[in-house]
Amino acid sequence: MIELEGVPELIDPVMVAAFEGWNDAGDAASAAVAHLDREWKGEVFAALDAEDYYDFQVNRPTVWMDGGVRKITWPTTRLSVVRIGGDKPRDLVLVRGIEPSMRWRSFCNELLGFAHELGVEMVVILGALLGDTPHTRPVPVSGVTSDPDLARTMDLEETRYEGPTGIVGILQEACTHAGVPAVSLWAAVPHYVSQPPNPKATLALLNRLEDLIDLRIPLGELPEDARAWQVGVDQLAAEDSEVAEYVQTLEEARDTAELPEASGEAIAREFERYLRRREPGQGGPGHATESGDASYLRDSAGERTRPPKPQQPGPEAVPGAEPERPEQERPEQERPEQERPEAGDGSGDGDEGGSADGAEE
């Protein structure tokens, strides 16, 4: 029996989880949960016993000094709670740790025990995989579930994946069998720039989470970090013509695949987010604005540059997610004023070089 002393009664709680390792290309998923914990000042209330789930030769403990006293930090999974006020209060239970080395069924059962005791209404698991996606385009984020009813009501994909999986896939199935609604959000990270961090993918996951649970998330400096990341990759890319040709091939394939998939529904979803962020009294520091949320998604005309030399994608490319259905470009109303074409100048949305799939969802 799990006893949670000192944890207050939560309001419509949602559990949001991410695990470092195979399910976390570019550390994008774990960084997203860390961002939520930092921005909302989460309070840790439980940690799983490291002895039960981790091989310390694979995930080694670390030694550090605290005022001249040596201390040890053991690899584990911690749970924290954030309380969110406002007009629509909703609390989050954040789960952040390392993919366990063993006893995955017991691991999932223990997390589900916490979810039951806290009255969690839904579990959202974040993940990131390596894929053939260009860094110059919005990050594809797919939302998948094993529950056909949930897929229909929340506009998600019903997963059909077969093959090797990680703790994200196992936890989602455990939730389904326990009758707990569960969704996985997967960001696709370019395999040729897989090294962490990847703030652009982290931002994409948070944007999609925001839409899913209808909760405005303070983004802090993350949009600026995402812009800086893309500029840095662009600068490295300019040095290699072979890589430039490779990424141009990815861009053309992406743009061709997405053109027939443009939909009014995608535009509506982006416009709803835009309106949420423009609500009176909710545009203060720490929140993305019209320009801060979107400007880094677009290429400057005629200034495409390329990333470092590509590497072959590893097994992370198939941890259990399916690629997201592409989406339409953001409506003109949502674009920063300086990006909007002047009347009669002959420019159009197509001039932005393939950012026609809209927001990072």
Distance CA 289, CA 1 (A): 45
| Residue 103 CB contacts under 8 Å (≥ 6 apart), including other chains | 52, 53
Residue 115: per-residue pLDDT: 95
Tell me the pLDDT tens digit for each residue of 29-56: 999 999 999 999 999 999 999 999 999 9
Q: Which residue positions in the chain have pLDDT lower than 50?
A: 1, 280-361
Is residue 203 a contact partner of residue 223, using CB atoms and an 8 Å limit?
yes
Residue 282: predicted pLDDT: 43
Please give the pLDDT value at position 274.
Answer: 58
Helix (H, G, I), strand (E, B) or coil at 164: coil
Residue 38: phi and psi, rounded to 5, are -70, -45
Q: What's residue 221's pLDDT? A: 94
**So what's the pLDDT on residue 112?**
97
